[in-house]
Amino acid sequence: MGTVEPQLATASQVTDGFHLVIDALKLNGIDTIFGLPGIPITDFTRMAQAAGLRVISFRHEQNAGNAAAIAGFLTQKPGICLTVSAPGFLNGLTALANATTNCFPMILISGSSEREIVDLQQGDYEEMDQLAIAKPLSKAAFRVLHAEDIGVGVARAIRAALSGRPGGVYLDLPAKLFAQTMDAEAGRKSLIKVVDPAPKQIPGADAVKRALDLLKGAKKPLIVLGKGAAYARADTEIKSLIEKTGIPYLPMSMAKGLLPDTHEQSAAAARSYVLPEADVVMLVGARLNWLLSHGKGKTWGGKGHKDWGGQKFIQIDISPSEADSNVRIDAPLVGDIGSCVSALLTAMGSNWAKPPADWLGAIAERKSKNVAKMAETLAKDPRPMNFHSALNVVRDIVKANPDAMLVNEGANALDFTRSIVDMYKPRKRLDVGTWGVMGIGMGFSVAAAVVSGQPVIAIEGDSAFGFSGMEVETLCRYNLPVCVVVFNNNGVYRGTDVNPAGGPDVAPTVFVKGARYDKLIEAFGGVGVHATTPAELRKAMEEAVRSRKPTLINAVIDETAGTESGRITSLNPTSGKK
Ligand code: OXT
Ligand code: ADP
Ligand code: MG
């Protein structure tokens, strides 16, 4: 089938599996599908487009999946990724697992092969028991066998993705389901519009009191804002909490901009001082995982690698089982962040005492030292360009365009961007998240542009970019206002490694030297720029943001400038062998 009549479903007295899925998604406010066509879902993509859904087609399912995941984070609606069976499903599954890990609501919908052949392992086209494989990697997984169950299947998937701790859901749709027909009116009635998919969860009054009592007694309080807080869209309440308490706060990477990074209470520039020094720490939508050194050890002032630093913790989280995952949580506050923070604000009353002046003063001192040191480094203009001199430009461009979305991946390219580029608004910084995964770059960029309509700036390590680089064609095809800046230092972390055996192969971390990534986008009609100085980079970025044309800037970075794994060098195992 090559074309689809838009009025097919409504004109007829019967409907089919294709239309029921589309209608169920539309009924629930889904307006965009990210995917890649093929058997058995090619006609589905055509029909969805004919029915008014925006169908964004990718070059690889993992990128479509990443786009769906971040669309979910940005909209509080599950992002939809659509794939073919077995290999397409598996390509999308990495993104689904990453979405679940990051608490992003997403639904991976994959077509699948004939059940009876798959279950007897008779060798069907793209045979795979996809449901079984998806289960351990997703928050929930469902399969629909009959057209009359499509409404329930889609409703269950939406509710599972959004309620409680958000996550990735798999929905298995066998090929035979799409062609099934049923009476159109009965079909319409079988669909479910999900009511209140993410119900408010109000914390108990005793839990609120416990948290406030702890906070009140603190001499060195600290608030940590995580991406759960960004997702929750309780921006006003969080701002009030920070400002009313006067407590310094630390934003996790994707919580940057929840309050402007230039806020005087931000302790980001004194991170390594506040973590070990704080006596009471309130976590708001942030887990005590590896990114927070599991709440213990030297980062927190503990004597040894696993020792408790002595802090008391308050943890606001929608997941009741998150508390105590790494260290004791003295005051868990279970509920949605909006409700929890509102309850705290109400119970705090109007005469809350600000934290002791010596705590605030000590932080301010550390901050100004670090900021001055950073300013000095940023003012340098070395040749070749390094991460700092290039990011000084990016910092200015983001400051001038605070509504722009910033996508970021790499190792050094990630870590330096996080600390150098200030964010001014919530949910503008999108990055590698909980897994530190490479490959989110172009999928996130496409979705950020599609969902927000704002210009997108993607700061990419040259290795990181390679994981999804083919999607520059997608940027051009949909004419998206994305400016990709590849920080080209000739390799993974650095371009200077040598083959220890001295043979003709280069070292495993090294790429083709002097590669011209800008030429890639030119192949598809986008704008390619080769930038070797901050001035050239600035001109190209300004023009990209102004013109909104898909642009790729090959920013040449000193190949000696990076460090192994960026800021997380210590996570590399070193041999115990002497
Ligand atoms: O307090 P101190 O003194 O310590 O200073 C801190 C702040 O106070 C200060 N700061 C400031 N100073 C002044 N002013 C301001 N405004 C300011 N703000 C902050 O700066 C420092 C640092 O602050 P930060 O960042 O807050 O603190 P810190 O200590 O770094 O925080 C700790 C962490 C853990 C929270 C943080 O480091 C973090 O979030 N890290 C995330 C790390 C991460 O996820 N990395 C990515 C994974 S690395 C690796 O796995 C890679 N791979 C393997 C691979 C992956 N990942 N995936 C797949 C699918 N396959 C393979 C690969 C292949 S990276 C990679 C590619 C790398 O090569 P590229 O070419 O892409 O990239 P390049 O490296 O650029 O070449
Ligand atoms: P970060 O990496 O920024 O520290 P994490 O992904 O580790 O953030 O933590 C996010 C936390 O936020 C998760 O534990 C998740 O359960 C929680 N969360 C997500 N949405 C909400 C919400 N609406 N209300 C409360 N907690 C939430
Ligand atoms: Mg690199």
Is the predicted pLDDT of residue 5 greater than 80, yes or no?
A: no
Using CA atoms, how far apart are residues 288 and 129, in angstroms rounded to an integer? 35
CA of 135 from ligand 2 middle (Å) equals 22
Pocket of ligand 2 contains residue 237 by CB under 6 Å: no
* Residues facing 529 on adjacent strands: 553
Looking at the CA of 465, which ligand is closest? Answer: 1
Q: What separation in Å is there between the alpha carbon of 151 and the centre of ligand 2? A: 29
Of all ligands present, the nearest one to the C-alpha of 432 is 1
Q: Are 393 and 416 in contact (CB under 8 A)?
A: no
User: Tens of pLDDT along 232-274?
Assistant: 999 999 999 999 999 999 999 999 999 999 999 999 999 999 9
- Confidence check: pLDDT of 297 > 60: yes
Kindly state if the Cβ of 225 falls inside 6 Å of ligand 2.
no
- CA 527 – CA 518 distance, rounded (Å): 8
The closest ligand to the CA of 367 turns out to be: 1
What dihedral angle (degrees, nearest 10) is formed by the CA atoms of 62, 66, 69, 71?
-130
Q: Report the nearest atom of ligand 1 relative to the CA of 439.
A: 59
If you average pLDDT over residues 328-350, what whole number do you get?
97
Q: Which of 448, 277, 449, 410 is nearest to 356 (CA)?
A: 277
> Is a pLDDT exceeding 50 seen at residue 404?
yes
The tens digit of pLDDT for each residue in 267-293 reads 999 999 999 999 999 999 999 999 999
Stretch 329-333: mean pLDDT: 98
- Tell me what pLDDT residue 4 has: 55
> Residue 351 corresponds to which tokens in the numbers above?
């005469």
75, 106, 196, 318: residue to mutate for ligand 2 pocket, most atoms within 8 A of CB? 318
- For residue 78, whether the previous peptide bond is cis, meaning omega lies within 30 degrees of 0, is no
pLDDT digits (tens, 9 = 90+) for 524-567: 999 999 999 999 999 999 999 999 999 999 999 999 999 999 99
Contact 434 CB / ligand 2 (< 6 Å):
yes
pLDDT band per the 50, 70, 90 thresholds, residue 576: confident
Q: Whose CA is nearest to atom 14 of ligand 2?
A: 287
Identify the nearest ligand to the CA of 436 by its number: 1
pTM of this structure: 0.97
Structure-block tokens of residue 145: 């066998």
How far is the CA of 152 from the CAs of 34, 41, 78, 513, in angstroms?
Answer: 22, 20, 16, 54
- Residue 12: which pLDDT band, with cuts at 50, 70 and 90? low
Ligand that lies nearest to the alpha carbon of residue 293, given by its number in the listed order: 1
For residue 577, what pLDDT is reported?
Answer: 85
Is residue 99 within 8 A of residue 69, CB to CB? The reply is: yes
Kindly identify the ligand whose nearest atom is closest to the C-alpha of 427.
2
- Residue 3 pLDDT: 54
State residue 578's pLDDT score: 72
**pLDDT tens sequence across 106-156:** 999 999 999 999 999 999 999 999 999 999 999 999 999 999 999 999 999
The closest-lying atom of ligand 2 relative to the alpha carbon of residue 227 is 3
Establish whether residue 44 lines the binding site of ligand 2, counting it when its CB lies within 6 angstroms of any ligand atom.
no
How many whole angstroms separate alpha carbon 283 and alpha carbon 225?
6
CA of 103 from ligand 2 middle (Å) equals 7
Residue 140, helix vs strand vs coil? strand
Q: What percent of the chain has pLDDT over 70?
A: 98
Contact by Cβ (8 Å): 45, 37: yes
Average pLDDT in the chain: 97
Q: Where are the beta strands (DSSP E) in 144-291?
A: 168-174, 181-183, 221-225, 249-251, 280-284
Q: Looking at the DSSP assignment, which residues form a beta bridge with residue 316?
A: 284, 333
pLDDT, tens digit, for every residue of 183-212? 999 999 999 999 999 999 999 999 999 999
User: What 8-state DSSP symbol labels residue 186?
Assistant: H
Residue ID of nearest Cα to ligand 2 atom 10:
228
DSSP-based helix, strand, coil % in the chain, nearest 5 = 45, 15, 40
Q: Which residues surround ligand 3, an ion (CB under 5 A)?
A: 461-462, 489
Q: How many CB atoms lie within 10 A of CB 430?
A: 28
Residue nearest to atom 5 of ligand 2 (CA): 286
Ligand 2 within 6 A of 102 CB? yes
Pocket lining for ligand 1, CB < 6 angstroms: 253, 268-272, 291, 370-371, 374, 410-415, 418-419, 432, 436-439, 461-464, 487, 489, 492-493, 562, 565-568
pLDDT surpasses 50 at 1: no
Ligand 2 center to residue 335 CA distance, Å? Answer: 11
Return the structure tokens found at 73.
């984070």
Say which residues have a Cβ less than 8 Å from residue 128's Cβ, sequence separation at least 6.
85, 86, 89, 90, 112, 113, 118
Q: Give me ligand 1 centre to Cα 291, in Å.
A: 10
What whole-number distance in Å separates Cα of residue 457 and Cα of residue 474?
A: 16
Ligand 3 mean position, distance from CA 509 (Å): 9
Mutate to test the pocket of ligand 1, among 98, 419, 430, 485 (most ligand atoms within 8 A of CB): 419
407 vs 520: CA distance, rounded Å: 19
